[in-house]
Amino acid sequence: MVAEKLTAPDPETLVSEAKAAFRDGAMLTVQARCEVEYEGRTSGYLGPGDRILVAKPDGTFLVHQPTGHKPVNWMPGGGSVSARTSEDEAVLLARRTNPSERVEARILEAYGLTRFDATDGATYEESGTEAEMHEYIEENPDVLEEGLRIVEHERESKYGFIDFFARDESGTPVVVEVKRIQATLNHFDQLQRYVSLYEETNDTVRGMLVAPSASERVERALRDNGLEFVELAEFDTDAKGATEAKLTDF
């Protein structure tokens, strides 16, 4: 493990160090005032502000604002990240071809740069969590519905990752959202957003919320909106506090 830090690098130094990090398979973190543009399935622009930019060897690129745990812009792995100067400013560009997308961060002022030559061969293992439910469903889709066929696990969308995209016996698309805890109205809203994406291009789309349990109010909300609930009681938790149910869900 080797970590190198630079304070307030000029654009030429930043680009040179970034290129070397990308070439050597190192992680790169830049603290900077920047603006960000996205082009792909949609287009977007994020005006100037202080952010942390993270580039990983697998092509993952993240733009973090000072608050919130999720990146405001990102590019998943599988593409590439490059660096160049443009009009005396450093630019980091992440892109991939399938689908065709690009995230470009123009660095207006660099506060710091860290190169991290990291090695990590450990595998994260979860138990008693949603990951076990995902694995169980992927191996046994009939527990949700006989004849259900899983097409894709964790399909990316503009609203986040859809747990399962599937098709039923008649070929109808089925959007499946899985929760390890008791289903809430927030989970219902999340499933509804995912289903709306496919209703734009399909005459019929089914939405299925899978959880160990759900209140009558949540089940009613699902029914009233043409969505479905599947109970997997075998994954219920003994720890009542882990259900995260809210008073508004009852």
Please spell the DSSP secondary structure of 198-225, one letter per residue: HHTT-S--EEEEEES-B-HHHHHHHHHT
Other CB atoms within 10 A of residue 203 CB: 6
Contact 211, 137 (CB under 8 A): no
pLDDT at 115: 97
Domain ranges across the chain: 2-117, 130-249
3-state SS track over 219-239: HHHHHHCCCEEEECHHHCCCC
24's CB contacts (< 8 A; 6+ apart) are 117
Q: What is the pLDDT of residue 245?
A: 43
Distance from C-alpha of 232 to C-alpha of 141, rounded to nearest angstrom: 12
pLDDT at 234: 75
Are 191 and 183 in contact by the 8 Å Cβ rule? The answer is no
For 70, the 3-state DSSP assignment is coil
Q: What is the pLDDT of residue 218?
A: 94
Please give the torsion angle defined by the CA atoms of residues 154, 155, 160 and 164, in that order, rounded to the nearest 10 degrees.
-60
Question: What's the pTM value of the predicted model, to 2 decimals?
Answer: 0.56
Per-residue pLDDT of the chain (250 residues; tens, 9 = 90+): 668 999 999 999 999 999 999 999 999 999 999 999 999 988 999 999 999 999 999 999 999 999 998 999 999 999 999 999 999 999 999 999 988 999 999 999 999 999 999 999 887 665 556 788 899 999 999 999 999 999 999 998 888 899 999 999 999 999 999 998 899 999 999 999 999 988 878 889 999 999 999 999 999 999 999 999 999 887 765 433 343 444 344 3
Distance CA 87, CA 36 (A): 16
CATH of the domain spanning 2-117 = 2.70.180.20
**61-64 vs 27-39, strand pairing mode:** unpaired
Q: Pull the structure tokens for residue 110.
A: 């660099």
For 204, half-sphere exposure in the C-beta direction (CA atoms, 13 angstrom radius) is 5
Give the architecture-level CATH label for domain 130-249: 3-Layer(aba) Sandwich (3.40)
CB atoms within 10 A of CB 115: 19
